[in-house]
A = this chain, B = another copy of it.
Amino acid sequence: MLTLPQIDRVVGAALEEDAPWGDLTSETLIPAAATASADLSAREDGVFSGSEVFAAAFRLTDPSIQVDLHIGDGERFSRGDLLATVTGPARGILQAERIGLNFVQRMSGIATLTARYVDAVAGTRARIIDTRKTTPGLRALERHAVRSGGGFNHRFSLSDAVMAKDNHLAVLTAGGLSLTEALIAVRGQLSHTTHLEVEVDRLDQIDAVLAAGVDTIMLDNFGLDDLRAGVEQVGGRAIIEASGNVTLDTVAAIAATGVDVISSGALTHSVRSLDLGLDVSITAAPVP
């Protein structure tokens, strides 16, 4: 779901931010005819993401640079694995390397963290999903990385699904309508393809919400007992999302309650870049 124009726009902007009028160092210290090769290798285990983005950093800097990828998005690698090889003019490779590496480290960091959550819930029906807490400007890339890690995505933006929270419910019912009546009225205003999700804080809200025919009910900050009770109460009438207090330590127990999706802002909120290395060796240009 990453399109070429998207990738080129994001990576192109990053390259321009990092070298608005060229790379002074390479242009001064490296002969124009020098070539180089660079190995992208893993310094820790992980799940790969960002192959097209990595390649774009070099292609947009100098179209004559060649990028050979030895791994695909979503594949696992071990410390020491060679992930990609870059060859071509040394100046361009040196100018682009930081940006290319930065993106692939971030995306693989997200993919790897996601995969840990996914592994933790293996054997349950629960999916791991992201939230809107992504890095400004990088949402499409970070959502792709979540998928590389085996996770799924929540709605892309405020424009493509409705998520009603406590604040909204209070306003909805302020005029005297019951919650069910109010939600039925909301549903009547939505496009038939628009997903309607409602967040509840207490078990006793579930029946009123389900009576309105919502698509997903989010149980926010429920304890494990309440989650189990909620799953039973919903009884398959809606998708159940668990949210709040989701960590690598708690996620397995949450999944075991029978919920359908577990959302975690941590997947993208506080990204730890994965430790990948890009080692460049420069070949001095042949004497003419």
* This chain: copies in complex: 6
**Is residue A98 contacting chain B, with contact meaning CB distance below 8 A?**
yes
A137 contacts B30, C-beta separation under 8 Å: no
Using a CB-CB cutoff of 8 Å, which residues 126-147 of chain A contact chain B?
A: 127, 129, 132-133, 135-140
A23 contacts B158, C-beta separation under 8 Å: yes
Minimum Cβ distance to chain B for residue A281 (Å): 8
Using a CB-CB cutoff of 8 Å, which residues 255-288 of chain A contact chain B?
A: 260-261, 269-273, 280-282, 284
B193 contacts A136, C-beta separation under 8 Å: no
22 residue pairs from A and B, CB less than 8 Å apart: A1-B21, A1-B24, A2-B22, A3-B22, A5-B16, A14-B137, A18-B158, A19-B157, A24-B161, A28-B162, A29-B164, A137-B137, A137-B138, A152-B191, A161-B193, A170-B282, A174-B284, A192-B195, A192-B216, A192-B239, A193-B195, A270-B272
If A17-B157, A102-B133, A154-B193 are given as contacts, then 11 extra A-B residue pairs at C-beta distance below 8 Å, sorted by A number, are A3-B19, A14-B137, A21-B156, A22-B158, A23-B159, A29-B168, A34-B171, A103-B136, A135-B138, A137-B137, A192-B260
